[in-house]
Amino acid sequence: MINDQLMQFIKPDINIDFIGKRKIAFAVSLILITISIISLVIKGGPKYGIDFAGGALVQVRLSEEIEPQAIKNALRSIDLNITSIQGFGKKEEHEFLIRAATSTEALESLASEIKQKLEYAYPQNKVEVRRVEMVGPKVGKDLREKALLAMFSALLFIAVYISGRFELKWMVSIIMASCLFLTLFVFSKFGVSISILIIIAVLTTLALSFYLKLRFAMGAIVALIHDVMITVGVFSLADKEFTLPIIAALLTIIGYSLNDTIIVFDRIRENSRKYHRQPYELTINRSINETLSRTLLTSLTTLVVVVALFVLGGGIVNDFAFALIIGVIVGTYSSIYVASPILIIWQQAMKKNTKARQWG
């Protein structure tokens, strides 16, 4: 009974004109994606953490307040090529993250040397080295490539699943996936970088979805690319690093957004059969309104947990939780204003194509 009441905190007969506002929503999305791309271009791409860029990360805690520049001056004699020193956690805890471009295998000796240098330069401070991480440049490059492949593989299998689930075109979607893997293989033989390969593969996926008339797959993929692009853009604007936990967050966002999109798509498919004489725009708008209560409840309950993790989880999971907050908000928005309206654009394009053939 309580669950039913919660599910109906939005009235069942609600009729918000989401589809009528789709052009405004597209403009907002285009502006956000443009800002994201400009930020990435200006900053020379994402800011990679040591997981992907290689190097060393040292977390130190001091008993008294000290400036980051003072720490850098004290460690100048250590050949680490320090790139940044920034505060970590609560200000009163006096914790800092020291990032260096040079990595070394001698973790214990490095921790000991840093502790000695800081205590020698500032005797009034008690120094505790709380964490030391090292990643070689080759390992970092391999991790970066595998992370990109993981994200692309997720998008690819989503395209196959959506095509089979909603359009019963399992064989066609499997053929599309095979074509994509073949495309990746051919271009990789020419020494094309993994980033360029992923862009080529995504564009090929969209082109094949259009050519093979996989409208639901195209809607889902465009929405997911939209979500990932905006999340990456916010991270770039906030000058936050991309690490393995952030890639895990992006994959989580892809799964969350897809779940929302499937709920709406499922209702669109049902209503298309039930109200087949009704204009397609009205059918889609009805479907969004009918699933709105479930969509918002899922998003709000998820946000409560993620915000609690962001506020109380501490510095280690702060960026992970931040990525999820952005992803949940953008994923909910894209299910309503991106994935569903793509189906209308698809239908309009098909009608124009049919009329052009008739006149031709």
- The mean per-residue pLDDT over the stretch 32-42 comes to 91
Most confident of 73-87, 169-183, 246-260, 342-356: 246-260
User: Which pLDDT band holds residue 246 (cuts at 50, 70, 90)?
Assistant: confident
- Residues with Cβ within 8 Å of residue 173, at least 6 apart in sequence: 159, 160, 163, 164, 212, 214, 217
Mean pLDDT (the chain, rounded): 80
Tell me the CATH number for domain 11-48+139-166+214-354.
1.20.1640.10
User: Which pLDDT band holds residue 295 (cuts at 50, 70, 90)?
Assistant: confident
- The SS3 of residue 242 is strand
| Side chain identity, residue 102 | T
Domain map (residue ranges) of the chain: 11-48+139-166+214-354, 55-135
Of the candidate ranges 4-18, 246-260, 306-320, 328-342, the one whose mean pLDDT is the lowest = 4-18
Q: Angle at the Cα of 289 (from 283 to 291), degrees rounded to 5?
A: 105
- Spell out the alpha helix ranges (H) of the chain: 2-7, 22-42, 50-53, 68-74, 107-121, 137-167, 170-189, 194-211, 215-237, 244-274, 280-312, 315-334, 340-359
Q: Are 92 and 49 in contact (CB under 8 A)?
A: no
User: Which pLDDT band holds residue 57 (cuts at 50, 70, 90)?
Assistant: confident
Statement: residue 302 has pLDDT above 50: yes
User: Which strands sit side by side in the sheet containing 95-100, from one edge to the other?
Assistant: 82-88, 95-100, 55-62, 127-135
pTM above 0.85, yes or no: no
- The mean per-residue pLDDT over the stretch 176-189 comes to 73
- Backbone phi, then psi, for 121, in 5-degree steps? -75, -35
Statement: residue 254 has pLDDT above 60: yes
- What pairing do the DSSP bridges indicate for beta strands 127-135 and 55-62? antiparallel
User: Which pLDDT band holds residue 2 (cuts at 50, 70, 90)?
Assistant: very low
Closest CA to 241 of 56, 47, 52, 39: 47
Q: Are 163 and 215 in contact (CB under 8 A)?
A: no
Tell me the CATH number for domain 55-135.
3.30.70.100
CA distance 173 to 192: 25
CA distance 336 to 329: 11
Using the Cα atoms of residue 169, residue 171, residue 174 and residue 176 in order, give the sign of their dihedral.
Answer: negative
The predicted structure's pLDDT at residue 68 = 80
